[in-house]
Amino acid sequence: MAAAYNPDAPLLTLNDLSDAYATVQSSGLIRRTPILTDVDPQLLGLPADADYRLHLKLECAQLTGSFKPRGLAVQLAGLTGAGSGPKLVTMSAGNYGRSFAAVCRARRLHGLVLMPDSAPRHRVDHIRSQGVLVETCPSSELQSRVDAKVANEGYQFLHPFDDQPLIAGHASLGLELLEQLPQVDTVLLGCGGGGLSAGVAAALALSSKSRLDEDARSADEEPRSPVVYAVEPETACTMRLSFEQDRPASMPQARSIAGGLAPPYAGANAYRHLRHFGARSLLVNDAEIGACQRRLARNLGLIVEPSACAGLAALLFDRLEEPPVGDLCVVLTGRNVSPEDAMRLLAAGDDESE
């Protein structure tokens, strides 16, 4: 059995991340996703004479349509894979639940997903179609329902964004990115509970320090690692509040068109990793996220979900703290939109406000 969720887990080390990367690579749950290199910035309405080279990491090409199986692979590494294995429960409104359900089906595990009653019907139906149990309840009751399942029915809780093993698994994206783009200077990606951005920040910082150690840097040379921007919706900014309050923050009223970036609280482990490894916080609004989603569909033929657009929206609408230079990579984290939404994106006309 894997260890129970610990909100005060130790900070990850490079050895932890290397072990997790090996687990992810051998899991059969993920694919190495491509990078669109040297994207013409004019295609997205950016200046032609930008001082950076724009690259898009297409994590939306993952098998389940998002990055989530990276963390799940490590969470499940210690579990038995047969039908008599443990009963697993999680809470999710979307991509983690989708990936959790797919993995439970593939490994014949007993799974239960608790979903907010506000979740779109097509998401509930898809997750249920994978053979796992689904129960819905108000968002404010999700954690207490999970706790009751663990205490009274023998379930084991897999946290959807803050398990230390999950963060280590998500760090595989950062290590993979460094193999594909070794000289990356800036990384932009969306942040909800913080698991992905925490893992990527840890991977880039620890790997950069390791490279300098191997080069026998002089005593006065400071380790240099890429700048990681964790981008949130203005109306669902638990990680920004956490940075401001110097502790994990809650925001029960969090709402956004990017539902995957609107958890009711920031992950405690994720916050500590983001803070320790020097990640920076940026905010965008829903209109900017929507405009970015439409530009990707119209101009690059990429259908991605709103949560995947926050990082690029920060670039498109000039939210960065300083002008970027060098190699800039935006991670497009997921593609799971309904067929109806995909058709609307492709049919959308130009928006003068963009």
Residues 6+ apart with CB under 8 A from 97: 90, 91, 113, 115, 123, 127, 160
> What is the CATH classification number for the domain harbouring 137?
3.40.50.1100
Identify the domain boundary among 157, 182, 215: 157
Mean pLDDT across 211-230: 69
> Is residue 218 predicted with pLDDT exceeding 80?
no
Identify whether residues 108 and 170 lie together within a single domain: no
Q: Is residue 353 part of a domain?
A: no
pLDDT value of residue 221: 55
Identify whether residues 136 and 48 lie together within a single domain: no
pLDDT tens by residue, 130-144: 999 999 998 878 899
Q: Could you tell me where the DSSP H helices lie in the chain?
A: 14-26, 69-75, 95-107, 121-129, 142-153, 164-180, 195-214, 238-245, 268-276, 286-300, 310-316, 339-347
Identify whether residues 224 and 91 lie together within a single domain: no
Q: Is residue 4 part of a domain?
A: no
Q: Is residue 5 part of a domain?
A: no
Identify whether residues 88 and 146 lie together within a single domain: yes
pLDDT tens by residue, 196-213: 999 999 999 999 877 766
Please give the Cα distance from 86 to 88 (Å, whole number): 6
Identify whether residues 256 and 131 lie together within a single domain: no
Identify whether residues 106 and 40 lie together within a single domain: no
Give the type of residue at 204.
L
Identify whether residues 150 and 83 lie together within a single domain: yes
Domain coverage including residue 62: 14-67+164-347
Identify whether residues 193 and 314 lie together within a single domain: yes
pLDDT value of residue 268: 98
| Total domain count, the chain | 2
Report whether 72 contacts 169 (CB < 8 A).
Answer: yes
Q: % helix / strand / coil in the chain, to the nearest 5?
A: 45, 15, 40
Identify the domain boundary among 102, 129, 157: 157
- The CA-based diameter of the chain, rounded to the nearest angstrom, is 61
Secondary structure of residue 272 in the 3-state scheme: helix
Identify whether residues 121 and 34 lie together within a single domain: no
> Is residue 311 predicted with pLDDT exceeding 70?
yes
Identify the domain boundary among 124, 157, 190: 157
pLDDT value of residue 222: 58
Cα 269 vs. chain centroid, distance in angstroms? 14
